[in-house]
């Protein structure tokens, strides 16, 4: 049976895979697992119930799923603080800010409106390790002795949730944003109220798109996965920069004044150099995944910054950051984690600090982005292959070595097997696009020839 938890919680088509019954059951299982240990025992000894923060993005299915989650928690003896519609990083921050025992975010991030998801956060607002998610899954559906009478949990509105988060964000800024014209694309998602307020209070001139959520238009042609509209609006408005969030605002991508996309790699390069100058980049180290562009590695080498690579996924970046106390890491997709201020990727925080650097230096985003030269990259998906045999096939390994030798220091190769389907991803970076394309397809042909599954 496949694992219920994916790379970022439990996700699926709302009211089909992700039902109210499943949400209630997951909440009850999480209440059992996440309220064990000395902390919970001390609460009970003092006559206090465990506390959980619950929040959601604005997609319509979030209403019934959040209601089911809150019911499951309260029926398990957990007091629920309902924060309403707020970004995922806001929920994570609030858990730590008020000393809650754990929290639940109902969101499917950048997915379309019919999908939804449930993410759990531990005490302090940190993501759960796989072993804890597995324990929750193990307890799903197991009948439990639930409390009665005055021992059941209460559900209350978290009245000042937004205000706490806004004050926190503003308190992180190294420099105000006065004089910078920003176009914000909030993806018709969870950032639609908070992001405009924060950027405006911080001094920016703000133009908005994608800030009118109606429950079904989240990520619909707007946000960090659809940047064309933002680029056009920046040019039309004569703005200095465009900032795009995804549906739950844990991502940030940007466009410069000419509408050119500034991805997560370039954002991290800009922030890493700025943080090093201020003495805030722990051990002068940046943590990225293996998918980050070679240009980022070379730029950081020139800046005297060490780069550590992890597997793909922001959770692996987080693990490395937390284990060694590093200050900055993230993904090309725009998940940027600044551990001095957040326990997870925070798109609003990232955007604020990026624009703050523009205001501080007086440079345009295009000028700041010159710190990094992007190497042309191509990703070829080779389907219908025995991806499990990838690492053991010597002919494929020899072909990779040949391409690496041809590229030398001017490129790199990465072959990754899919975790969910018979597919191998071939990624090649080179000094020019034609070389990247040629070598990637050469490797893809070898992979297909060697690992193709029998037809029928």
Q: Give Rg (Cα) of the chain.
A: 23
Residue 109 in marked binding region: yes
Structure tokens at 171: 């308190």
* C-beta pairs of 412-418 under 8 Å, 24+ apart in sequence: 412/294, 413/439, 413/443, 414/290, 414/291, 415/390, 415/443, 415/447, 416/290, 416/312, 417/387, 417/388, 417/390, 417/391, 418/387
**Residue 456 lies inside a defined structural domain of this protein:** no
365 with 428, same domain: the answer is no
Q: What pTM was computed for the model? A: 0.93
Beta bridge partners of 14: 18
What pLDDT score does 421 carry? 84
312 with 192, same domain: the answer is yes
User: What domain range includes position 212?
Assistant: 172-369
Active site residue 109: yes
Residue 346 in marked binding region: no
Last-in-domain residue among 127, 159, 191: 159
343 with 384, same domain: the answer is no
**Residue 122 lies inside a defined structural domain of this protein:** yes
211 with 242, same domain: the answer is yes
416 with 361, same domain: the answer is no
Residue 250 in marked binding region: yes
Distance CA 214, CA 85 (A): 12
**Residue 2 lies inside a defined structural domain of this protein:** no
343 with 245, same domain: the answer is yes
Question: Residue 36: which residues within 8 A CB-CB, separation 6 or more?
Answer: none
What pLDDT score does 48 carry? 83
The count of structural domains within the chain is 3
What pLDDT score does 386 carry? 93
Among residues 109, 224, 292, 333, which one is catalytic?
A: 109
Last-in-domain residue among 108, 133, 159: 159
- What CATH number does the domain containing 417 carry? 3.30.310.50
**Residue 227 lies inside a defined structural domain of this protein:** yes
212 with 330, same domain: the answer is yes
Beta bridge partners of 427: 379, 414
For strand 10-13 and strand 51-56, is the pairing parallel, antiparallel, or unpaired? Answer: unpaired
What pLDDT score does 143 carry? 87
**Residue 167 lies inside a defined structural domain of this protein:** no
Distance CA 360, CA 133 (A): 42
What pLDDT score does 2 carry? 74
Last-in-domain residue among 134, 159, 184: 159
The angle that helices 88-98 and 161-171 make with each other, rounded to 10 degrees, is 90
**Residue 4 lies inside a defined structural domain of this protein:** no
348 with 249, same domain: the answer is yes
What pLDDT score does 1 carry? 61
84 with 106, same domain: the answer is yes
For the chain, 456 residues long, give each residue's pLDDT as a single digit of tens: 678 998 789 999 999 999 999 999 999 999 999 998 676 667 766 778 999 999 999 999 999 999 999 999 999 999 999 999 999 999 999 999 999 999 999 999 999 999 999 999 999 999 999 999 999 999 998 888 899 999 999 999 999 999 999 999 999 999 999 999 999 999 999 999 999 999 999 999 999 999 999 999 999 999 999 999 999 999 999 999 999 999 999 999 999 999 999 999 999 999 999 999 999 999 999 999 999 999 999 999 999 999 999 998 888 999 999 999 999 999 999 999 999 999 999 999 999 999 999 999 999 999 999 999 999 999 999 999 998 899 999 999 999 999 999 999 899 999 998 877 899 999 999 999 999 999 999 999 999 999 999 876
239 with 312, same domain: the answer is yes
**Residue 431 lies inside a defined structural domain of this protein:** yes
- What CATH number does the domain containing 261 carry? 3.40.120.10
User: What values do phi and psi take at 447, rounded to 5?
Assistant: -60, -45
77 with 212, same domain: the answer is no
**Residue 248 lies inside a defined structural domain of this protein:** yes
Distance CA 435, CA 378 (A): 10
Distance CA 142, CA 153 (A): 20
80 with 106, same domain: the answer is yes
What pLDDT score does 46 carry? 74
Three-class DSSP labels, 55-115? EECCCCHHHHHHHHHHHHHHHCCCEEEEEEECCHHHHHHHHHHHCCCEEEEECCCCCCCCE
């Amino acid at each position: 049976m496949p694992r219920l938890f994916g790379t970022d919680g439990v996700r699926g088509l709302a009211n089909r895979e992700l039902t109210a019954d499943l949400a209630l059951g997951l909440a009850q299982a999480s209440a059992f697992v996440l309220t064990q240990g000395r902390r919970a025992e001390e609460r009970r000894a003092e006559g206090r119930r465990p506390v959980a923060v619950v929040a959601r993005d604005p997609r319509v299915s979030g209403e019934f799923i959040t209601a089911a989650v809150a019911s499951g928690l309260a029926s398990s003896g957990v007091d629920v603080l309902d924060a309403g519609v707020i970004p995922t990083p806001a929920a994570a921050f609030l858990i730590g800010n008020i000393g809650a025992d754990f929290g639940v975010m109902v969101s499917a991030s950048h997915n379309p409106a019919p999908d939804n998801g449930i993410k759990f956060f531990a005490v302090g607002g940190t993501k759960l390790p796989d072993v804890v998610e597995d324990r929750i899954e193990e307890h799903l559906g197991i009948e439990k002795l639930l409390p009665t009478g005055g021992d059941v949990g209460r559900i209350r509105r978290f009245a000042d949730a937004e205000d706490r988060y806004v004050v926190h964000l503003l308190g992180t800024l190294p420099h105000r944003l006065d004089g910078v014209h920003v176009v914000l694309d909030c993806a018709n998602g969870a950032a639609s109220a908070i992001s405009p307020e924060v950027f405006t209070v911080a001094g920016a001139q703000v133009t908005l798109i994608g800030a009118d959520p109606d429950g079904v238009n989240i990520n619909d042609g707007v946000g960090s996965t659809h940047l064309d509209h933002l680029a056009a609006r920046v040019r039309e408005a004569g703005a200095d920069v465009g900032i795009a969030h995804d549906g739950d605002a844990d991502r940030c991508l940007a466009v410069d004044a000419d509408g050119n996309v500034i991805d997560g790699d370039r954002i991290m390069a800009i922030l890493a150099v700025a943080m090093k100058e201020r003495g805030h980049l722990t051990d002068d180290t940046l943590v990225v995944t293996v998918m980050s562009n070679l240009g980022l590695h070379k730029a950081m080498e020139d800046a005297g910054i060490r780069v550590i690579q992890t597997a793909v996924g922001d959770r692996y970046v987080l693990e490395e950051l937390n284990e060694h106390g590093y200050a900055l890491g993230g993904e090309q997709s725009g998940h940027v984690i600044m551990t001095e201020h957040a326990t997870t990727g925070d798109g609003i925080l990232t955007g604020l600090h990026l624009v703050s650097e523009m205001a501080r230096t007086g440079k345009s985003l295009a000028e700041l982005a010159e710190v990094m030269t992007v190497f042309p990259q191509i990703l070829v998906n080779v389907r219908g292959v025995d991806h499990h045999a990838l690492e053991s096939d010597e002919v494929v390994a020899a072909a990779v070595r040949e391409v690496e030798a041809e590229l030398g220091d001017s490129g790199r190769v990465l072959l990754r097997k899919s975790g969910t389907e018979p597919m191998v991803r071939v990624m090649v970076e080179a000094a020019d696009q034609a070389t990247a394309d040629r070598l990637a397809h050469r490797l893809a042909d070898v992979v297909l020839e060697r690992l193709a599954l029998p037809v029928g």
